[in-house]
């Protein structure tokens, strides 16, 4: 009996499936997630979608061939996250690797393996010392071999360097791989070289030539800063399986950031159809993601990997919800594209910097139990600006500001006593 393929079931009716790569491709960003942390992250990711986690999340648990410890980490994820995500093992295009990958996830509901097969001439020569046609033909054979090894493990293929490969040849191979029992065929911009128009042409062209039975996915890197834009082009072309990684962790400049992708597609349902090409009334989710969980997961990944969340990191960065200047303080909604409190659970915060207005300074003073206005507010504002330039740091320590206010209050009391 054939495996029930939740990814094909979901994507074929227009639902989004996120192929999460932070534990696998993220390792190439010089990070390492131990097995227990991968389990924790997979569970948290699946929990974004509640009981529909396995239908919305493929968690690439790792690359079993790396070493015995990596194999055990993949196996741990597969066993301990069953029913929460669809776990996947990734492998090279060799029969030995395929056998090992299947073994690492065998016996677990909704498990998958992904075989990486070179699609371009240059990548085929580098990876398997063959031309692209021979490498793709071998990929078809590996799909058949994997299906023979276990009827309960779905088999996907990632066509490496698809952005420099022949579209017609990839379409032909994708159709053959699907006929052999393959699930999803992901087209990879392995080196992050594509422009949005090129991504659109690739997914539309390969999809049309491969035929309606082929399920394409996107695995797009961010070397030119266009990974998210290119993924949107894939979605516009009808692709519903898209790779991403928490904090964008992946080789070199990374890939699409999971938190950004999910937020963009879910925070404003009225705009989703335009972003994805959904027909009117089409649904992208079995259950929409709980966006309030995004900041916590991102912080957890940051702490584990040492990759910082900066003030300019979209959606989950330290600058989200902060106000430091006058006009935004007066009308915050005018200066933000969404409400971070209602959508992300992030409370707005007024921060003292060299750009502070008297109103900003008074608001922070009130937070510390001081009521100032008029001349006192202007004096405090001048102190804040001077402090920022004296220290060379924009954000002024509020403890020092509170001490300044305490001293100001004492001086005022002394003057009137």
Q: How do residues 220-241 score in pLDDT, each as one tens digit?
A: 999 999 999 999 999 999 999 9
Domain boundary assignment for the chain: 6-305, 321-417
**pLDDT-wise least confident of 84-93, 177-186, 345-354:** 345-354
Instruction: Identify which has the larger pLDDT, 326 or 317.
Output: 317
Task: Round the average pLDDT of the chain to a whole number and report it.
Answer: 93
Classify residue 57 by burial, with Cβ atoms within 10 Å: 0-12, 13-18, 19+.
buried
Tokens of 130: 């063959």
Classify residue 164 by burial, with Cβ atoms within 10 Å: 0-12, 13-18, 19+.
middle
How much is the pLDDT for 2? 58
Mean pLDDT of the 165-177 span: 98
pLDDT at 197 over 70: yes
Give percent above pLDDT 90 in the chain: 82
* Nearest residue to 38 (alpha-carbon basis) of 76, 91, 67: 76
pLDDT at 190 over 90: yes
Return the sign of the alpha-carbon dihedral for residues 173, 174, 177, 179.
Answer: negative
60-80 b/e (C-beta count within 10 Å ≥ 16 → b): bbbbbbeeeebbebbbbbbeb
Mean pLDDT of the 25-30 span: 93
pLDDT at 347 over 50: yes
Taking the C-alpha atoms of residue 67 and residue 65, their distance in angstroms, rounded to an integer, is 6
Helix spans in 6-67 (H): 6-12, 35-47, 53-56
Tokens 């330290």 label which residue?
318
CA 108 to chain centre: 25
How much is the pLDDT for 58? 98
pLDDT digits (tens, 9 = 90+) for 30-43: 999 999 999 999 99
pLDDT digits (tens, 9 = 90+) for 50-76: 999 999 999 999 999 999 999 999 999
Provide the 3-class DSSP secondary structure of residue 142: helix
Taking the C-alpha atoms of residue 411 and residue 111, their distance in angstroms, rounded to an integer, is 70
Provide the 3-class DSSP secondary structure of residue 242: strand
Using CA atoms, how far residue 207 sits from 200, 215, 263, 381, in Å, is 11, 8, 26, 60
244 and 20 Cβ atoms separated by less than 8 Å: yes
How much is the pLDDT for 336? 86
**pLDDT-wise least confident of 226-235, 245-254, 321-330, 368-377:** 321-330
Q: Which residues 6+ apart lie within 8 Å of 384 measured at CB?
A: 352, 353, 354, 356, 361, 396, 401
Tokens of 379: 């004096």
- Pick one of 3.30.70.20, 3.40.50.300, 3.20.20.70, 3.10.20.340 as the CATH number of 6-305: 3.20.20.70
pLDDT at 21 over 50: yes
pLDDT at 409 over 60: no
Give percent above pLDDT 70 in the chain: 96
How much is the pLDDT for 273? 86
pLDDT at 412 over 60: no
C-alpha atoms less than 13 angstroms from C-alpha of 350 in its C-beta half-sphere: 22
């Amino acid at each position: 009996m054939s495996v029930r393929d939740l990814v094909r079931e979901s994507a074929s009716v227009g639902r989004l499936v996120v192929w999460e790569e932070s534990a696998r491709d993220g390792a190439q960003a010089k990070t390492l997630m131990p097995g227990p942390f991968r389990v924790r992250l997979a569970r948290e990711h699946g929990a974004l979608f509640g009981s529909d986690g396995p239908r919305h999340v493929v968690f690439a648990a790792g690359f079993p061939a790396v070493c015995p410890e990596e194999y055990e980490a993949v196996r741990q994820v597969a066993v301990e996250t069953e029913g929460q995500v669809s776990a996947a093992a990734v492998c090279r295009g060799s029969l030995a690797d395929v056998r090992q990958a299947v073994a690492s996830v065998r016996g677990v509901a909704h498990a998958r393996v992904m075989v990486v097969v070179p699609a371009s001439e240059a990548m085929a020569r580098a990876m398997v010392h063959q031309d692209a046609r021979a490498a793709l033909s071998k990929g078809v054979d590996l799909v058949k071999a994997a299906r023979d090894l276990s009827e309960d493990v779905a088999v996907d293929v990632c066509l490496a360097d698809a952005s420099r490969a022949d579209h017609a040849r990839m379409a032909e191979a994708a159709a053959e791989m699907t006929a052999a029992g393959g699930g999803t065929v992901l087209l990879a911009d392995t080196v992050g070289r594509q422009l949005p128009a090129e991504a659109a042409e690739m997914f539309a062209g390969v999809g049309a030539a491969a035929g309606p039975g082929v399920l394409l996915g996107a695995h797009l890197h961010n070397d030119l800063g266009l990974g998210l834009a290119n993924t949107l082009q894939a979605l516009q072309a009808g692709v519903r399986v898209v790779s991403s990684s928490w904090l964008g962790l992946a080789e070199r400049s990374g890939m699409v950031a999971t938190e950004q992708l999910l937020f963009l597609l879910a925070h404003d349902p009225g705009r989703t159809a335009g972003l994805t090409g959904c027909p009117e009334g089409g649904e992208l989710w079995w259950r929409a993601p709980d966006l309030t969980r995004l900041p916590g997961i991102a912080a957890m990944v940051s702490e584990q990997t040492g990759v910082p969340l900066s003030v300019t990191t979209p959606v989950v960065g330290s600058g989200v919800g902060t106000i430091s200047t006058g006009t935004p303080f007066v009308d915050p909604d005018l200066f933000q594209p969404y409400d971070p409190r209602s959508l992300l659970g992030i409370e707005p915060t007024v921060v003292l910097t060299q750009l502070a207005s008297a109103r900003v300074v008074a608001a922070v003073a009130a937070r510390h139990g001081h009521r100032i206005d008029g001349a006192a507010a202007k004096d405090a504002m001048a102190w804040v600006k001077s402090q920022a330039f004296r220290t060379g740091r924009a954000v002024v320590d509020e403890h020092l500001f509170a001490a300044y206010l305490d001293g100001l209050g004492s001086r005022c009391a002394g003057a009137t006593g």
